[in-house]
Structure 1
Amino acid sequence: MNTLMKMWLSLFIALMVTGCSHTGNSAAEKAYDAELSGFDYPRPVQFFEVESQRQKLRMAYMLAEPGKPNGKTVVLLHGKNFAGFYWEPTIAALVNQGFRVVVPDQIGFGKSSKPEAYQYSFSQLAALTEQLLTHLKIDKVSVVGHSMGGMLATRFTLQYPSRVEKLALVNPIGLEDWKTVVPYATIDETYAAELKSTEESIREYQKTAYFAGQWKPEYESLIEVLAGWTRHPDYPKVAYVSALTSDMIFTQPVLYEFGNIQTPTLLIIGQRDRTAIGKARAPASIRESLGNYPELGRKAARAIPKASLVEIREAGHMPQVEQFQVYFDALSHFLGS
């Protein structure tokens, strides 16, 4: 492992152990309002004021500028259970290689506004991301999406193909259409389930789905925000918006359009991942067949015309956590080629 990579791995471990808030408190002592007022991101957060669906909203984002620009910009799109802060090790490594990096919190997530009377769709979120880039006077970008961010990155690429030079999908969800095999849960039912979330249930879900039943102390920062929200009076609002975005994920598959992607695409797939929305509601006879990422990744790579596939055996839903060096080597080679 070279000196530079050791530095990024040390940074990553430090962030995972301490959490981005730098308070030194345990997760159990923290409570966060809907827009994470008391939670510090690793870089300065700016806000893009935008009017959407007759509402004035704020879209939070980080903008990282390299000391020696290579002329390329990368947009990092977060997953549903995360926000821009968890991208920090990737941001730091990309900036070191000369990339300008834009990291938005989508509307409904992180420090961004969380409107409850809003039609959440991947097309709408893609449009807001495109407006942010226009505001920043950025034209061409490479887009990297993790988990739900992979679904959004796919929609963004299909919606604005002239803007996207390269597309990278890191364990994206939506590689299978759950609504064809899993009974539908209404928004009210999903909201009721969200209200029951606790630190323990959040940890158990990520342990089982993301990390193949393994849990390490450095993973605690990954649930800090989610757990902190459950302890704040704002949580009903956060839970309802989460139910709305869950419905968006379940009802708006992107996989049927993979064949329309003409952008060079990289799939980075942790092989232990078993994430599948609604798996608990699926018939017992098929439940364990859902979220088979080795199979789903290969199928997606065959469907996308200009796709390449990197499989990471010793990683689950978050290869950027479990196998950062392997993940970033693949990503940087793809973005820089």
Structure 2
Amino acid sequence: MHSACQNPFLMPTFGDHCIRISMTSNRISTFKKPSEATLFLENWNRQVEALNGFTYERISIPTSFGNTRIWAANPHLTEAPTIVFFPGARTCGLFWDMDNALKPFRESYRYYIVEVNGQPSLSDGQNPGVKTNDYGRWATEILDGLAIKKTTIAGASLGGLICLKLCLESPERVKKAILVNPAGIQPFSTSIRNLYYNLLPMIFPTPANLNKFLDKAIFCPPHQTVSPVYRELISNYLLYALLNHQFRGDYPAPLKKEELRRLTSDIYLILGEKDPLFPPGETIRLAEENILTLQGSQIIPNTGHGIETSKRAHDLIWKMVSKPAGHSY
């Protein structure tokens, strides 16, 4: 889901556990009415589950940034391949499962979806710092709490930045990292068009302005969209977050070139052709110049920033997680 722009949909958009104290003083994001927000979010997630016909196991992991809520699918399949999904900023975990997108993975994979601390979700409000490796330490604590030794990870927007930070902090824990329209490689675009549609619902938070943002930045109708009932859920969530969540953390920023060059994990990119937040051409250019372990990049035509809702993106993720590490596509 970056600098001066507060974007509501920047996705857009897990043994024994030892808690380590963050070296940075983090600011705490809050809801105006925390109890009401918890009820809203729990109900919102139950609606997604009901539509999908699947109920996730709820897991809470204590970390240096407070408790983190995890959605778990097939946690009992300890020998199955594992995937950990990180959502974008100003979204929550089950944005990954709009239109029942993760159903194919439930057949043979064990996977976890993380609610990012500090974002408008059911995790606590302490914010990891973007300019440090707080996100990498926090994500490592998530893997420790879930007793995962090594896993494939996938992240959308801010989630992509989190994946990069985890690869820097604990490369031995990552089989491969799949980044979809990621933050962390290039800066948030300051084009007039991008700023206009991102700022419009923030300055004037109405359903009409939010829908303009969704149509012009997140989706790419009629090619890339979600069914109406999921679209309404997304709109309801984002409008509630805009009106009720007070974000006090850092906005995503690109890693330094020397950090990208230190990456040793296999990195895969899936990018939306029409993403106005992080235009794909610049992401590919910087990745090819600086990520020595880049295994390939794929641009999906007629796709906006909310690429984790794209069936074509999920089909590509399926192919990538099925390939042995070290294989390009």
* TM-score normalised over the length of structure 1: 0.67
Deviations 1:190-216 (A, max 9, x none): 999847423222221121122346575
Counterparts of 1:211 and 1:225, CA distance in 2: 12
- Say which of 166, 170, 179 aligns to 1:160: 170
Q: Is the 8 A contact 1:212 1:273 kept in 2?
A: no
Deviation, structure 1 residue 169: 0.5
Counterparts of 1:120 and 1:226, CA distance in 2: 27
CA RMSD between the two structures:
3.5
- Say which of 128, 133, 137 aligns to 1:120: 128
AA aligned to 1:95 is: R
AA aligned to 1:166 is: K
Larger radius of gyration: 1
Counterparts of 2:120 and 2:238, CA distance in 1: 11
Deviations 1:95-132 (A, max 9, x none): 32x321111111123542453xx443243343333222
Q: Is the 8 A contact 2:90 2:238 kept in 1?
A: no
Residues 206 and 248 (structure 1 numbering): CA distance in 2 closer, same or farther, change over 3 Å? same
Q: Is the 8 A contact 1:72 1:99 kept in 2?
A: yes
Residues 274 and 223 (structure 1 numbering): CA distance in 2 closer, same or farther, change over 3 Å? farther
Match of 1:82 in 2: 91
Counterparts of 2:152 and 2:184, CA distance in 1: 20
Matched, 1:248 2:251: yes
Give the secondary structure class of the aligned counterpart of 1:207.
Answer: helix
Percent identity for Structure 1 against Structure 2: 18
AA aligned to 2:149 is: D
Match of 1:170 in 2: 180
Q: Is the 8 A contact 2:58 2:71 kept in 1?
A: yes
Match of 2:216 in 1: 208
Higher RCO (C-alpha 8 Å, min separation 6): 2
Give the secondary structure class of the aligned counterpart of 1:162.
Answer: helix
Match of 1:34 in 2: 37
Q: Is the 8 A contact 2:82 2:111 kept in 1?
A: yes
Match of 2:304 in 1: 316
Deviations 1:51-109 (A, max 9, x none): 646xxx3321111117876542111111113221122345332232x321111111123
Match of 1:93 in 2: 104
Q: Is the 8 A contact 2:136 2:168 kept in 1?
A: no
Deviation, structure 1 residue 135: 1.8
Match of 1:147 in 2: 157
Matched, 1:303 2:303: no
AA aligned to 1:74 is: I
Counterparts of 1:321 and 1:305, CA distance in 2: 28
Name structure 1 gaps, 5 residues minimum. 1-31, 183-189, 276-290
Matched, 1:327 2:327: no
Counterparts of 2:145 and 2:153, CA distance in 1: 17
Give the secondary structure class of the aligned counterpart of 2:62.
Answer: strand
* TM-score normalised over the length of structure 2: 0.68
> Counterparts in 2 of 1:267-278, with a 5 A limit?
267-275=269-277
Match of 1:13 in 2: none
Q: Is the 8 A contact 2:177 2:266 kept in 1?
A: yes
Number of equivalent positions: 270
